[in-house]
Structure formats: C-alpha cells, structure tokens
Structure 1
C-alpha cells in the first residue's frame, strides 16, 4: 500500500515544480538512439535454426544524454543539447525526435563518417502474445573524436551555457565529452554554475564540479570500496568526494532508495518512494539525474532536489523501456493521499 505523500514528506515539493518550468539547463554528453523493432514469430527459418520475425512496427527513442534531455523537457525545462551524432539517417531521425520533444539541438555536432550510436532491440512473440526481447544489436563508433570535433563540442558547450541555470553531463563512455569540453565544465563550475555529472565509467575524471551521481556499482568502482552496508557506503562516498572535489554526491541504490552526501553534512538516506515493484529500470538513472539537475537549476537545496528525484525515479521504473516522467505526473504524485 502506498504511503500518503504527506507522510513521505514530499507534499512541500509541489511548489518546486512551478519554479522548474522557468529553469534553463544544458545537457552535454553521449546522445544515442534506442530503437525498438516489434514483430510476430511465425516459423523457423530453413536457412538456420532461428525464428523468422515478421516486422510489425518500429520506434525510436533518444537514449543516453538524449533520454536525460527529454526528461528535462517533460518537466517543462528549457533544454539545450550539446554532443555529437553521425551525419547519417539515424542521426537525423534522432535530432528530429529530440526537437519534437522541445529540446534545442543546435549544439549537437554532426560528424561526417561517424556512425550515430544506437541500440536496436528486436521484440517478438506469437500471435496474441506479449512481445519479448529476443536480441539487441549495438552500433557504436570505433574511433575517438578528432581534436577538431572535440574543440567544436567545447565551443558549443560554452555557447549553450550562456544564460543557463545548470549543466548536466551525461557520460555513457562514448567519448563525446573530451578534454576541451571537460575544461569548459570546470570553468563553468568555478564561475558558480552548478554542473551535475552522471558518468558510467569515468566518474573520477570529473573533478572540480558540483555533483556526481553514481549507482552503487559505479561507486564501488570509483572508490575501490566494496559497499556491503551503510558504513561502507559512507566510506566509499567520502572517498569519491575527495577524489572528485565535488560538493555533493547522490548515490542511487535501487530498492534501498538513495543516499545524499555533502561536505560538512551528515548523510541523508532517502527510502524508496512507494511500494510497487519495478517494471523496468532502463533509463531510471537519466530520470533521476535530470530531475535533480532541474531542481537545482530552480534554486532547490540538494536534499529537496534529491527527494524530488527519488519520486521521479520511482515513477519511471513503473514504465517499460526508455521513458520520461512529466511535471504533471510528479504533481499528481505530490498530492496523492
């Protein structure tokens, strides 16, 4: 049974959603295409012992930094995207999809000869049955960005950050945030602009910024500390805060909720919101990072931002696949009794 919002201590966050709608945020990072291909399985191929899938429909959703950008747009935030795509049909489709979601894509650089990163999932089943994932095909650029492309991304980041209230760096390991862009991020943070980081593999590279958001596995990797309890969690978090020089660290902990660590403050452990089992955790980290950054851009304190992000993450995992959580959905959750 879901606990009342007032008991969860989130009802007071409803007013924050109005301020979020006036915020401006830059998302820089790895933009990729999540493709979903649906079909019906009718028979086994004569050519090989594999199922033949008769195509029914397909859809494309922005993944990685694109998912974070769409989550921000769903909250009503003005979003400017910075990153790279290939100069190909998939890249054009990805940009069109982001633009349709009210994301400013002028800062995304098209790189000639580079493939737009994608994850194509094949979902199929028999007639009148639920479609299930059979196969995933990933396409990723093999070469690092050229120095010229790195410099272009850094320039676009500087341009997009003018007038912004916060920056979210979404690093999935594809190399879109090179050394020049990282230096821009550090300069922005030194100038007082909040810079939040969600990095899968390079967390400790993001030094001198405002906030880092690992999950427990990423925290273990970055700290070298096995997280097997709250005491170990705190040791790991404090180690990463020292390594990165960040002011804040938000750890997403799945069914254990979240934990916020700040220099000079006691840890804040936030229990999971609601009592429903997760349907799909795909992209939940993007939702959390986007909501936290939006709240910070709106002037929220870190704990309020984390609590709002905790609610958004709980709503996201009730949705299949890559999905967003809207301002209206969050507001409805705030007023639930």
Structure 2
C-alpha cells in the first residue's frame, strides 16, 4: 500500500537529512552549433563546425547531487577530480548546488571523466545530439587512490544518514568502485547498520553485500541470467529480482522505464507504476534522479514501495527537461504526487 497523501505531506517539509554521494562523477558538457555557420577549414578542406555556447552540468554522482540539493537534502560528495580544467568545472558545478566538496579527491595522472555532447540546431529551432565524445582514464585505478577514496568515505560518513554509491562503469577497475573499494564499502555498510547504504551499479549490483541495490531490468538479466535473449516475462523478472535481493541481503529495486519499477523487500514483490508524461522526453540522467528520490524516501521514513514511487515521480519530472540532465523541486514533486490522488 502506497500512501500518497502521507508522502505529499512529508515531501512538502524541508528534509533534515544528509546524504553522502560516493563513487563515479563526471562532467556533462553540451556544446551548441548551427550548421548555417559551418566553415571549411583552409588547411584541411574539412567542415569546421562553429560552436557559440555551452552548458555544463555535474553528471552521474553529480546528477544525484543536483537532484538531492534541489529537494533540500544536504549532500557530501566523495569522488575523483582530475588535475585539469574539467575537474575545476566539475567541482565548481557541485559547489554551486550547495554541496560539500571537501571530500573530493584530486587524482593527478587521471583525467576528469567528461561526456561532451555536440548539439546541432534543427530546422525547427530545437537541438539534437550528434554524437557524444567521452573523455576518461582507461587504466586501472592506482591502489593509493583506492585507499584515499575509502578513507574519505569514512570521514564523510560521520553524521550522515545515508550513502548513495554510484558504480557507473562496466569495466572492472577503471572507475572509483574497483573490486577493493567495493569490498571496503560493503564492509563499511555491515559495520554501520544504522546507516542506509544504497548502490546503483550497471554491471556489479550482484556483488554488493549489506547494501540496497538498484539496476534496470536489462542489467538484472545480465547479472542473473547471462546469455538470456528475448523479452523476459514478469514472472522471470521477479525470480531474478528475488535472487538479487537474496545475494545482497537487502531490498532490491529494478526499474523498467515507462513500465515503472519492481521492488523486492521483506520477501514481497511490489510493482510500482511509472508516472505518465506527455510530449518529448530526454531520459539522460533519469536513473540518477530515481536514485535521489528513492534514498530521500527512505530518509523520510517511507516504505520501500513508497520510496520507489518517489523515485519514479522525481525521474518523471526530470525527463521532461530536454537537452540537459534535469532536476525536480519539492513543489514539483508534491504537485505530481497529487495526480495519484485524482486517479
């Protein structure tokens, strides 16, 4: 049973909680160009696209941070910054939200993960992404940086209510959540049962212990049924979700896009519907917005299905913000939750 009326009352009050966002951070950089301004390079004869403006946002862990801060939650950021201009821009973007960046680790020799998105003007005046350019370190994370990240997480944990772990990359050892760091985080979760530990992992959700996990249904199949092909039925997804929750020893959340999400908690499976939206959508950052909503829900004392409903609500607002990783305010969330009372 999801008590939407109680949820609205809780979300309308300023939350008195602090969340640590630990793991992978990136810089989202949008560059805008109009083909009408293209030039031919004198030197090469190739088209030289002319970009006249840009927009910069903190992404991955930064998107979670942006959403938590928009919802009034205190945030401590623990992740990596390269000794480069992108690192400076990322830290500035985080600070501008009001987040605490004292625990961010500068990592000389490694670049700041940056997703550069050229946006080309369309005849109708809108913009479309033409092909993303990714910039990130492709060598294993040094042991010294692993140890420093774990140490800073321990420092940031004092006085915090929850930890959101952002395990972004599918390659082992390249991001903040290496096998050693993941094991240390799980040990920290076991040693601090009064704290909420929650992980969003694209490839390694099944390797967490004593941690609430979230993944989408395709990632779930990769974990529990590698090699599966075709469209899974509801019963099979539920079987896989139960297995994932049993592995981690904590509730598990499985998102399914516009079909909503499945919650596996206390031996029960609950299907939580998505919030229907009209018009164009941009799903970039939707999963991170969902994470912010779920963890805020737990901090507010919601049940696992209610937390999932809050996550669905937050992401339904952010996906309507085209060409950027969006955020949702408490007033927007309360307004959308009220639509459930009208059904």
Q: Same fold (TM over 0.5)?
A: yes
Unpaired stretches in structure 1, ≥5 consecutive residues: 1-7
Distance in 2 (CA, whole Å) between partners of 1:20 and 1:309 is 17
Name the counterpart of 2:224: 223
Instruction: Indicate yes or no: 2:300 matched with 1:323.
Output: no
SS in 1 for 2:141: coil
Name the counterpart of 1:191: 192
Alpha-carbon offset, residue 205 of structure 1: 1.9
Distance in 1 (CA, whole Å) between partners of 2:79 and 2:10 is 29
State the aligned residue count: 327
Name the counterpart of 2:129: 133
Specify which of 99, 102, 109 is matched with residue 105 of structure 2: 109
Specify which of 4, 9, 18 is matched with residue 24 of structure 1: 18
Distance in 2 (CA, whole Å) between partners of 1:98 and 1:299 is 27
Distance in 2 (CA, whole Å) between partners of 1:51 and 1:134 is 15
Alpha-carbon offset, residue 275 of structure 1: 4.4
* Contact map agreement 2:273 2:309 (CA 8 A) in 1: no
Distance in 1 (CA, whole Å) between partners of 2:300 and 2:335 is 19
Instruction: Indicate yes or no: 2:276 matched with 1:282.
Output: no
After superposing the two structures, state which structure 1 stretch, 307-316 or 12-21, moved more: 12-21
SS in 1 for 2:49: strand
Deviations along 1:18-68, whole A, 9 cap, x unmatched?
566211110101010010000111346366686432211011111111111
Name the counterpart of 2:177: 177
Name the counterpart of 1:4: none
SS in 2 for 1:103: coil
SS in 2 for 1:105: coil
Deviations along 1:285-321, whole A, 9 cap, x unmatched?
0000111111212222212111111111211221223
RMSD over aligned Cα, in angstroms?
2.1
Q: TM-score, normalised on structure 2?
A: 0.89
After superposing the two structures, state which structure 1 stretch, 274-283 or 87-96, moved more: 274-283
Name the counterpart of 1:253: 256
After superposing the two structures, state which structure 1 stretch, 253-262 or 189-198, moved more: 189-198
Distance in 2 (CA, whole Å) between partners of 1:272 and 1:72 is 20
Specify which of 60, 83, 86 is matched with residue 79 of structure 2: 83
Name the counterpart of 2:4: 10
Alpha-carbon offset, residue 138 of structure 1: 0.5
Specify which of 236, 240, 250 is matched with residue 236 of structure 1: 240
* Contact map agreement 1:45 1:51 (CA 8 A) in 2: yes
Name the counterpart of 1:3: none
* Contact map agreement 1:158 1:184 (CA 8 A) in 2: no
* Contact map agreement 2:82 2:112 (CA 8 A) in 1: yes
Deviations along 1:72-125, whole A, 9 cap, x unmatched?
111100000111110111101110110000111111100112110001011123
Q: Aligned pair in 2 of structure 1 residues 263, 219: CA closer, same or farther (>3 Å)?
A: same
Name the counterpart of 1:5: none
Task: With a CA cutoff of 8 Å and minimum separation of 6, indicate the structure with the bigger relative contact order.
Answer: 1
* Contact map agreement 1:189 1:195 (CA 8 A) in 2: no
Name the counterpart of 2:40: 45
Name the counterpart of 2:28: 34
Instruction: Indicate yes or no: 2:75 matched with 1:71.
Output: no
Distance in 1 (CA, whole Å) between partners of 2:53 and 2:162 is 38
SS in 2 for 1:106: coil
Q: TM-score, normalised on structure 1?
A: 0.90
